[in-house]
Amino acid sequence: MSLVDIWRNRQRGQKPPKGIKIMTTYHSDALVFFGATGDLAYKKIFPALQGMVKRGHLNVPVIGVAKAGWNLDQLRARAHDSLEKHGGVDPGAFEKLSNLLRYVDGDYQDLATFTTLRKELRDAHHPAYYLAIPPVLFEAVVEQLAKSNCSKGARVIVEKPFGHDLASARELNKVLLGMFDEADIFRIDHYLGKQPVSNMLVFRFANSFAEAFWNRNYIDSIHITMAENFGVEDRGAFYDQTGTVRDVVQNHLFQVLSNLAMEPPAQSDSESQRDEKVKVLKAIPPVEVKNLVRGQFRGYRDEKGVAKDSQTETFVALKLEIDSWRWKGVPVYIRAGKCLPVTCTEIVGKFRKPPTLIPDSVLTANHLRFRLNPDVTIAMGMMLLASAEAMSLQAREMVASRDPHSGEMDAYERLLGAAMEGDATLFAREDYVEEAWRIVDPILKEKTPIYPYVPNTWGPEQVDLVTPPGGWDNPSVGQDELSLAKQAA
């Protein structure tokens, strides 16, 4: 069985064949999620749990832990309300999920909470602990897990943000590795759970023609855009402490970039794949201030929870290099932001223009375009003859596209299932996280200018300082695609 077959089967929830080492030898026999009454649980975790039950991937106790003064009936009611608003209630699956649910109420700093948890685990020997809580609470929770004898034989699933800079990421790694082995730590970046992100790897490694041109000999530059046509909504206080670089560039977009730029792994196991992704980041020098533009949409400072003199960016454009054999000399341009004209994530690889008798001024560079949302598209841009009489040319695309909302697993459903199986392929390793922070650490420490921009535009005027030759390719979406984007958001 090929590597691509294994990837495809994992997306369907199927186990790999015998002899393929992408998971450890046991399935977690309980799932404990801290932060059971929080916003993430409400919007993402309960829908994912129902999906897992519906597919037959979850039949172990699910224990919610929080300090809310609740009981089990209230947690079940919260789960039902969550599903009504986020995806819909499947009566049969919800009944099964309700029977699996348990609840522990208590303070994360109190050993008694974890003593009660130990009792609720009963005969479970290999629980998975999902820390859907702020990073500041990680240390207290993992220490109490160890003190209460709950950590033995367990896995821990950690929600982002994983630190706010290189130093804090190293400190969090130190805390976790003090209680758990690296093989038992699963750092979630939900972007890696999205099937379109894995689709990039399938395109690259399942198609022999792709290898011929996906390198510095033919690619002139790579552009990555992650645009959102909405603001910070109810996340003002969080976002004002985070900003665009920390919120989506250092994690989501670097994951996309490592998938685009990695070499084929030597073997099919998760560590070989993660090794190649780390090599990509190691080849990227830290971003220089001169290759960065930060922006803030007008009206951001009026959002609830946002400081009136905030210097937090809601838009960023940056340029970086990958000093590897494959990509040396190919600039990578990344931009991301809120209150832009559309909601869309798209990658464009621009080809070098061919030597030709046709004037360069009438040629549009060929391109390869990956769209990850709201629809899933792979397109090849090329020049065609528009008129034989006038010998005029036109740029056209050959497009393959499909609807991503066709019964596929939600990202959180896929990731939680993989973590409970022990499959680390879709999770960030310690060295990957630290390398990602290393790349952006210098620009986070510098006090760079923040430029205002008008909502529904492509960022501040100063973005021209970090713009690819020929300009950015601005993605556009139709009404049907816009509807899909709103559903995904």
Q: Quick check: 243 and 162 in contact, CB under 8 A?
A: no
Q: Where are the beta strands (DSSP E) in 77-124?
A: 101-105
Alpha helices per DSSP H over 304-450: 411-421, 430-445
Query: For residue 462, what are its two tokens?
Result: 């100063």
Alpha helices per DSSP H over 138-253: 138-147, 166-177, 195-206, 208-213, 236-240, 243-244
**Bridge partners, 64 (sequence order):** 33, 103
Q: Clarify whether 252 is annotated catalytic.
A: yes
Residue type, 311: Q
Q: Quick check: 197 and 255 in contact, CB under 8 A?
A: yes
Chain mean position to CA 219: 25
What kind and span of H or E run contains 484?
helix 479-488
Distance CA 240, CA 242 (A): 5
Picking from 454, 465, 474, the residue whose alpha carbon sits closest to that of residue 296 is 454
* Dihedral pair phi/psi, residue 453, rounded to 5°: -145, 155
Query: For residue 70, what are its two tokens?
Result: 């609740």
The position carrying tokens 């090929």 is 2
CA dihedral 137, 142, 148, 150 (to 10 degrees): 130
Annotated catalytic residue within 126, 252, 367, 405: 252
Residue type, 431: D
Q: Quick check: 223 and 333 in contact, CB under 8 A?
A: yes
Spell out the residues 6+ positions from residue 361 whose beta carbon is closer than 8 angstroms to its own.
none
Q: Quick check: 349 and 174 in contact, CB under 8 A?
A: no
Q: Quick check: 13 and 417 in contact, CB under 8 A?
A: yes
Between CA 237 and CA 111, with CA 429 as vertex, the angle to 5 degrees is 65
| Active-site residue set | 252
